[in-house]
A = this chain, B = another copy of it.
Amino acid sequence: MDKARDYCGVVGVFNHPDAARLSYFALHALQHRGQESAGIVTSVYDEAKRRRVMPVHKDFGLVLDVFDDKSLFEDTLVGDSAIGHTRYSTSGSSTNPANVQPFVTHFQEGHLALAHNGNLSNARALREALTARGTLYTSSSDSELILHLAAQSEESGVVPRIIDALHQCEGAFSLVILTDETLIAVRDPNGFRPLALGRLPAAPGREHPGWIVASETCAFDIVGAEYVRDIEPGEILVIDRPGVERVGEGKTPEAVAGFGGVCMPRRHGVSQCVFEYVYFSRPDSLVFGAMVDKVRRRLGKRLAHDAPVPLVKKGEGKRPLVMAVPDSSNTAAIGYVSESNKMGRRCKLDIGLIRNHYVGRTFIAPGQSSREQKVRTKFNTVRGVLKDRIVVMVDDSVVRGTTARQLVKMVREAGAKEVHFRVSSPPVANPCFYGMDFPSREELAVNAHGSVEEIAEWLGVDSLGYLTVDGMMDAVETAHESRDRYCHACFSGEYPVPVETGVVKEENDW
């Protein structure tokens, strides 16, 4: 897809002497969820101050760059619990560090740090109520609202306050919260964003295992943690002691066990983000109970039926060449090709686009219109593969369509005889109010250029085929997760949670 980049990645570690270091590796594994800034907070007892403190280090940049000083882990980020965050934001020109997460605050019950992936759909109402009570904001983030709600709660005790605060939130919030004594993992009742629990081997000399929560399970693999289960939609899991060996693995809210915690009521049913499967999550992650790459392969297979390869009979010419737009569409393309061949639509998988992996954030295009150059800086066509061939490009999604259009142009320049475009998801037609940063409705290809035929013409392709919403949901559905447990609002316009009317993205970006 062409760059609906947003989201965040979160991680939390409990009861491990290397909490910050493990968070660092985990954040690195989650780097695809946000490349703009990174941060880690730990909780540690300060001998000199005779109380717990929360050292923090965060900055703009990639995880490996923000934490490129070894002494951070030795001198600053000590302690055996930690949370971390990696984030993409659209306000690139800003140099204000106030929005870089995790947020670290202090209130009457002690310290409170929070890292958030998602978007509150009732943020405006919450903000208005808080504002009327004299609340002062230091960031423009929804996430700060949750902290204020906890601080102003009439409950007493840090955990009851947080539970109270979360009950007032609507929308998408996969959270990790660090208090002086506990690590809290939260998934909103709809379960929009993923969040999983893992177990770390007990550190040398420790009796009990450590615990880790992260946006995706690929973060567990890098630190050698074992996947235990997902945080359930609506679950507030309070990890407050190491001595728990098994954590309830039941799939109902009632079955939260092991650690403390409660479940929030589900007002709108479960509605997990299907776009995590389509594009966002890493293929090697287990998300919403399924391996992402498997779902993606099924999307590709279904696409073979819904938008088949052009038919070229034996003897009538070379088989059409199917190529992925790397890297996010690789798996779908494999499924597409294998299913097509099974269906008797002869075709061949090949690599027609090479992605340059040295493209960092510092790209400048001195003295030239940069858009086209930027795509050329990132991709190159393989002429020998494409020349004189019927080419079928498989992409995971089309949002704005501008990158796709540029790639089609390059594929044609490389000599392709025909260019067909296949998308392993339906057209993105609606904004997301649950955490994904799509461009404005007007900029979406489907709105800017009209019907599928009109988009095809604008893209410059011989044919264009999408998955239908139904086709996509067929592919996503599994034995244990029925199709009605997903949100596909960006494709279908069916929003599972009512959104405040007229919300615009930047309204809180004071």
Contact = CB atoms under 8 A, between A and B. Distances in A.
SS class of chain A's interface: helix, strand, loop or mixed?
Answer: mixed
Interface in A348-376: 348-351, 354, 356-360, 362-364, 366-368, 373, 376
B291 A382 contact: yes
A68 B35 CA distance: 18
Given A108-B131, A151-B136, A364 B293 contact: no
A363 B153 CA distance: 43
A268 interface: no
Interface string A34-75: 010000000000000100011111010011110110101111
A284 B380 contact: yes
A76 interface: yes
B106 A73 contact: no
A334 B509 CA distance: 49
Contacts of A153: 134
Contacts of A259: none
Interface string A141-185: 000000110111100000000000000000000000000000000
Interface stretch (A20-28, A428-436, A487-495): A20-28
A84 to B, nearest CB: 14
B354 A283 contact: yes
Contacts of A377: 25, 28, 222
A501 interface: no
A249 B376 CA distance: 28
A132 interface: yes
Nearest to A147: B136
A354 B284 contact: yes
17 contacts: A56-B95, A57-B95, A64-B358, A64-B363, A67-B364, A103-B138, A106-B137, A106-B510, A108-B132, A133-B152, A135-B151, A222-B376, A284-B380, A284-B381, A286-B384, A291-B385, A331-B351
Given A54-B510, A56-B95, A293-B382, 11 more contacts: A18-B367, A25-B376, A28-B377, A31-B356, A70-B366, A73-B367, A284-B354, A284-B380, A349-B349, A357-B357, A360-B360
